[in-house]
């Protein structure tokens, strides 16, 4: 799939045929713009055919969330020992008209680093965030219930119990500064919405209390209003409480649309949606079918105190998976088997069974893979190994049906903001599996 991206970069003179990044600092701004525009438009135009032509496999694969994963080299390489293929967002495809030379250089350096992994189809690069981008127009959203209906009932209370709202103020340089204070103390007209145990690097988080004034109809009969925000204003307690509740729902509405789009794409391509956010993993699991009295079906079965492996060289991954492909495939299928086994375990026996299955089914194979890597290291690959204090994953088995209809029917227009290239695609036979994926290097 992503070999097309590499070929486009080579055709545009941004990569050499050997995968080395071009030094764009030597080019004129006009030439840089020309080359990246060529790649950007061509990459977007072929993305739909790539997705439609992709044949999903029955192996365990992963799509990294564009908002809640850190696509660091260490996590990518460690994941390449678990998943058959990994879908990452294309760092060079954007809808922005202004990009810095440093961000473009960083994107090219990524392709240079991942060149061999992409050629081997271990890493697939797609413009996920581009198709997930919001409209350039700022919508005027209205809701009779403060957007409560945009949030699935199963997760509503959990969302609001996890919300962290802080005051925001504007500096003399017009910078928006998040204050270390509970927003309910000062009740300012600017707030930041966050959540406990969360990691989220994109999306809606800043809200301003604005009013519409001087509303008039123009010549076309449209109502035109002026949005007014008082940066020094404060709100009455009851009005602030209502606004804070509504803003939390709006923040989650935007996030759920983003997740819906990416999980839809992940399901179509037979990949697992990956998030590093414990908060996100929890509410995703709560949205599935669960037995009475059970909070969620998350399986923390890969909490390995004995450690996993950390690899900092793509060449090591290439050699391990080439020389020991049978061991890798056995490990990949074993993870799916353990997940299926745990899906029917009661909450009372879940932790005990997860621990037993991990040590009996998974750890021996982890040790085998570590031994393979060690043999490769002794054969000449130096500096490529380190230990990890833990590999934690929560596999949410069970149906996601209760979540998806809630997003489709209650998110006030979610369908119109879904990925356009997969909007009419049929559902893949393989249901998406949500995994909280957290790798900590010591």
- Residue 360: is it exposed, middle or buried by C-beta count within 10 angstroms (0-12/13-18/19+)? exposed
Q: Is the pTM of this model over 0.85?
A: no
Contacts of 342 by beta carbon, 8 Å cutoff, 6+ apart: 299, 301, 350, 353, 354, 357, 395, 397
d(CA 67, CA 76): 16
| Closest C-alpha among 147, 252, 236 to residue 189 | 236
The pLDDT profile of the chain, 442 residues, written as one tens digit per residue, is: 678 899 999 999 999 999 999 999 889 989 998 999 999 989 988 888 888 888 888 888 888 888 888 778 877 887 887 788 999 999 998 766 567 888 899 999 999 999 999 999 999 999 998 877 655 444 556 667 878 888 888 889 999 999 999 999 998 888 899 998 889 999 999 999 999 988 887 666 899 998 878 888 888 877 788 888 999 999 999 999 999 999 999 899 888 888 888 888 888 888 888 888 888 878 877 755 443 333 333 334 444 333 445 576 898 889 888 888 888 888 777 777 777 776 667 667 766 777 777 777 777 776 777 677 666 544 433 333 232 222 333 333 333 333 333 333 333 333 344 444 444 333 333 334 444 444 333 3
- Helix H or strand E segment including 232: none
Query: What residues contact residue 335 under an 8 Å CB cut-off, 6+ apart?
Result: 60, 82, 362
**Collapsing DSSP states into helix, strand and coil, what is residue 55?**
coil
Residue 2 tokens read as 């992503």
| Residue 278 CA from chain centroid, whole number | 13
∠ Cα 81 87 90 (to 5°):
130
CA triplet 328, 330, 334: central angle to 5 degrees?
120
Do 249 and 149 contact (CB within 8 A), yes or no? no
Taking the C-alpha atoms of residue 150 and residue 251, their distance in angstroms, rounded to an integer, is 10
CA distance 309 to 389: 9
Tell me if residue 354 falls in helix, strand or coil. helix
């Amino acid at each position: 799939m992503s070999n097309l991206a590499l070929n486009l970069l080579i055709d545009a003179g941004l990569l050499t045929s050997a995968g080395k990044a071009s030094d764009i600092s030597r080019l004129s701004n006009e030439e840089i713009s020309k080359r990246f525009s060529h790649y950007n438009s061509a990459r977007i135009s072929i993305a739909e055919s790539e997705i439609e032509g992709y044949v999903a496999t029955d192996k365990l694969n992963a799509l990294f969330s564009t908002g809640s994963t850190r696509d660091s080299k260490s996590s990518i390489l460690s994941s390449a020992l678990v998943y058959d293929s990994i879908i990452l967002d294309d760092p060079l495809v954007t809808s922005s008209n202004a990009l810095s030379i440093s961000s473009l250089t960083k994107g090219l350096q990524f392709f240079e680093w991942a060149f061999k992994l992409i050629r081997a189809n271990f890493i697939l690069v797609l413009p996920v965030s581009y198709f997930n981008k919001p409209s350039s127009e700022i919508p005027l959203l209205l809701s009779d219930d403060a957007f409560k209906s945009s949030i699935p009932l199963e997760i509503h209370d959990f969302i609001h119990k996890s919300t962290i709202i802080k005051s925001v103020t504007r500096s003399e340089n017009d910078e928006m500064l998040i204050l270390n204070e509970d927003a309910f103390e000062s009740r300012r007209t600017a707030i930041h919405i966050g959540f406990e145990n969360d990691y989220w690097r994109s999306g809606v988080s800043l809200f301003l209390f604005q009013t519409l004034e001087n509303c008039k109809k123009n010549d076309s009969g449209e109502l035109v209003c002026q949005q007014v925000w008082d940066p020094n204003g404060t709100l009455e307690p009851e009005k602030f409480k209502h606004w804070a509740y509504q803003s939390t729902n709006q923040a989650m509405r935007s996030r759920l649309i983003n997740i819906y789009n990416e999980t839809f794409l992940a399901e179509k391509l037979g990949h697992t949606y990956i998030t590093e956010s414990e908060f996100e993993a929890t509410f995703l699991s709560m949205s599935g079918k669960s037995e009475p009295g059970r909070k969620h079906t998350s399986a923390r079965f890969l909490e390995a105190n004995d450690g996993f492996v950390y690899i900092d060289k793509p060449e090591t991954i290439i050699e391990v998976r080439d020389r020991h492909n049978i061991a890798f495939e056995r490990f990949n299928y074993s993870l799916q088997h353990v997940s299926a086994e745990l899906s029917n375990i009661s909450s009372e026996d879940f932790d005990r069974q997860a621990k037993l299955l991990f040590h009996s089914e998974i750890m021996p194979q982890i040790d085998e893979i570590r031994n393979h890597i060690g043999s490769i290291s002794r054969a000449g690959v130096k500096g490529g190994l380190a230990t990890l204090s833990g590999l934690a994953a929560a596999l949410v088995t069970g149906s996601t049906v209760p979540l998806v209809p809630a997003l489709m029917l209650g998110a006030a227009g979610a369908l119109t903001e879904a990925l356009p290239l997969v909007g009419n695609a049929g559902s893949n036979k393989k249901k998406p599996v949500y995994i909280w994926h957290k790798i900590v290097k010591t």
